[in-house]
């Protein structure tokens, strides 16, 4: 396991009105990983990012970044942190290139036209460098936010809903860009509503709801632990009961359909479905169709947040 780049302990944020947006959050982020923070609206994702980046004043707890207490070493830490906010907060009358240069200056870096050109080209913004931001599309504006966040070459990058409102093609482009950043060693924490995004990119996933971290795990381990295989056999003539040779499988009979829900998200489910198919044939039970699917991260997320499944699985790592 690589060294931690960010360590959060007991982080709490209670607003003046009494709303607790973060409730004793413990979280450790490892250097070089992509960490996806999932949660419904109002779960506390943006507040958590805001507390780390300086937008929100925590009510309690500690944040250590790069091994230093953020409340004391905020200047040196912030030089190494970048943020792509959820909202398109930009000076719409300024040009793309000037805005990125402005961000670079704000983080204490010397002017470097070559580096800015490199960043703009990597985000397909070079041709738009002299355009006012108000003339760009929503997707392009979001790219500008990313360019601004990258202008001082941060080691830790926060992406708060980076692809919200972005078309599918642009979203794929951004995923590639995020992949490149990871290759360069940038640690990335992203919040997203698109679970597909987390599934595609994240090394680890954290699920937050009502200000509390419900679960943190490696994405693959989470899928293996909480993932399920579902299969439906359409039977030509359903038997009166499930044959005893299949009794040890998690099967239910529903009319002329035989339902399977089991496995572990790591291949056991597929093997069991194949074994059931062979056994049905041996038993002379003819099936005319077979539908099979693996549960997605989204189903796991919904199960955790909306149905309260997997209670007790939560562990902040």
Partner 1 sequence: MINFRATLAIYFHELDRFRRTIFGSLVAPVLTTSLYFIVFGSAIGGRMQAVGGVDYGAFIVPGLLMLTMLSESTSNASFGIYMPRFTGSIYEILTAPVGTAETLLGFVGAAATKSLILAAVIMLTALLFVDYHVAHPLLAVGYIILVAASFSLLGFILGIWADGFEKLQIIPMLILMPLTFLGGTFYSIDMLPEPWRSVALFNPIVYLVNGLRWTFYGKADVDIATSFGLTALFLAICIAIIAWIFKTGWRLRS
Residues in the site for partner 1, rule: CB under 8 A?
Answer: 15, 50, 53-57, 74-76, 78-79, 81, 83, 85, 87-94, 98, 101-110, 148
Q: Closer to partner 1 by CB, 22 or 205: give it.
A: 22
The torsion angles phi and psi of 60, rounded to 5 degrees, stand at -170, 170
Please, what's the b/e burial string for 284-297 (b: 16 or more CB within 10 A of its CB; e: otherwise)? ebebeeeeeeebeb
Shortest reach from residue 77's CB to partner 1, in Å: 8
How many other CB atoms are there within 10 angstroms of residue 242's CB atom?
A: 15
Q: Closer to partner 1 by CB, 108 or 138: give it.
A: 108
Shortest reach from residue 11's CB to partner 1, in Å: 15
Shortest reach from residue 216's CB to partner 1, in Å: 24
What's the rounded Cα separation, in Å, for the pair 16 and 14? 7
Shortest reach from residue 76's CB to partner 1, in Å: 7
Q: Closer to partner 1 by CB, 158 or 287: give it.
A: 158
Q: Closer to partner 1 by CB, 57 or 248: give it.
A: 57
Is there a contact between 176 and 122 (Cβ–Cβ < 8 Å)? no
DSSP states of 199-263 as a string? HHH-SEEEEEETTEEEEEEEHHHHHHHH--EEEEEEESS--SS--GGGTTS-EEEETTEEEEEE-
Q: Closer to partner 1 by CB, 63 or 273: give it.
A: 63
Shortest reach from residue 124's CB to partner 1, in Å: 22
């Amino acid at each position: 396991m690589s060294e931690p780049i960010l360590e959060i302990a007991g982080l709490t944020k209670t607003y003046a009105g009494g709303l607790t947006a973060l409730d004793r959050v413990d979280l450790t982020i490892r250097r070089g990983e992509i960490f996806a923070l999932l949660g419904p609206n109002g779960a506390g994702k943006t507040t958590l990012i805001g507390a780390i980046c300086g937008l929100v004043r925590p009510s309690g707890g500690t944040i250590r970044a790069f091994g230093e207490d953020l409340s004391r070493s905020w200047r040196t830490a912030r030089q190494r942190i970048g943020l792509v906010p959820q909202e398109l907060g930009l000076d719409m009358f300024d040009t793309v290139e000037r805005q990125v240069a402005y961000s670079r200056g704000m983080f204490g870096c010397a002017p470097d036209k070559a580096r800015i050109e490199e960043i703009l080209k990597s985000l397909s913004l070079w041709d738009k460098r002299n355009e006012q931001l108000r003339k760009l599309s929503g997707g392009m504006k979001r790219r500008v936010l990313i360019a601004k966040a990258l202008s001082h070459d941060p080691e830790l990058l926060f992406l708060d809903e980076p692809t919200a409102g972005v078309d599918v093609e642009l979203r794929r482009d951004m995923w590639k860009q995020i992949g490149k950043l990871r290759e360069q060693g940038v640690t990335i924490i992203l919040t997203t509503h698109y679970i597909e995004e987390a599934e595609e990119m994240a090394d680890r996933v954290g699920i937050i709801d009502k200000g509390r971290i419900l679960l943190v795990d490696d994405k693959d381990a989470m899928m293996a632990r909480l993932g399920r295989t579902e299969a439906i056999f359409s039977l030509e003539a359903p038997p009166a009961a499930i044959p005893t040779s299949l009794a040890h499988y998690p099967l239910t009979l529903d009319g002329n359909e035989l339902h399977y829900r089991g496995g572990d998200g790591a291949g056991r489910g597929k093997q069991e479905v194949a074994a059931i198919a062979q056994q049905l044939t041996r038993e002379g039970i003819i099936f005319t169709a077979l539908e099979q699917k693996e549960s997605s991260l989204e189903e796991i997320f919904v199960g955790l947040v909306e149905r309260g499944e997997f209670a007790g699985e939560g562990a902040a790592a």
